[in-house]
Each structure stands twice: as structure tokens, then as C-alpha cells.
Amino acid sequence: MKVAFTSSTGEIIDQHFGMSDSFHVWEIGPDEAHFLETVRVGIHGDDEEDKIGARADVLLDCAIVYTMQIGGPAAAKLVARKINPMKTNTEVPVAEIVGKLQEVLRGAPPPWLRKAMNKDKLTSFLDE
């Protein structure tokens, strides 16, 4: 599953979702995890709605976004796109979160995480 992190360096989750101009995307599974790419957010208008939407749109194939902070409207936009926002409230190493996710994936992941893991495999009756 793809997981995005708001990080200025790619090493520490240290940015607010709405202020981040890029996301570090990882592919994380129970036994393997590796960095995929850094996705940049372009300028998409002056309106806060446009800025939040642009960030959410570049993360469409991610199941989870880890960020230090995220506002309610931004979290709602992610959830509407079937992306789970997770906030840390403090700076946390990306490697620590990757390790914790792998540990949960090797055990019995909660239902929301099982659903997130299969995000790219799910189709809605609306897609047919």
C-alpha cells in the first residue's frame, strides 16, 4: 500500500498538511517497505479550497497520509477520496512509522487498515 508523509527532508514527519509543498511516498507491505517518490504540489489558485484539493489530488493512489497536523476540512477532503489522514502532533521519524505499520500489517490489522491496503483493488458500483 502507498503511504505519503509530510516531511521537509523525507526523514522526519515535520510539516502541516496544508503547508507541505511535497509528499514523500512509500510502498509499505508486511515484509518489505521502500521509498517510491517525492510528489510535488503545484500552485493551484489562491483559494484555500483549491490548495487543499490540489494536495488531495496528487495523493489519490495513497491509502494513508501521515502528517504532523491537518485541519478538519483537509481531513474531510482526504477521507472523501478514500485516503486515511493520520496526524502525529509531534515530529516523528518516517522510519519509525514505517516499522510500526509493518508490525501491524504482519499481525491482525484493524478493519480500516485492511480496507486501506486494498484501496487500489476496490471498485465502486459507480465505477462500472
User: Nearest 5°: phi and psi at 5?
Assistant: -130, 140
The length of the chain, given as a count of residues = 128
Reported pTM: 0.86
Strand partners, 24: 5, 38
Range of the domain at 76: 2-127
- The enclosing domain of 7 has a CATH number of 3.30.420.130
Q: How far apart are CA 53 and CA 99, in angstroms?
A: 29
pLDDT tens-place string over residues 18-76: 888 899 999 999 999 999 999 998 766 566 667 788 888 899 999 999 999 999 999 99
**126 pLDDT more than 90:** no
| Domain total of the chain | 1
Sign of the dihedral defined by the CA atoms of residues 30, 63, 88, 14, in that order: positive
Express as a percent the part of the chain with pLDDT over 90.
Answer: 64
Average pLDDT of span 96-111: 92
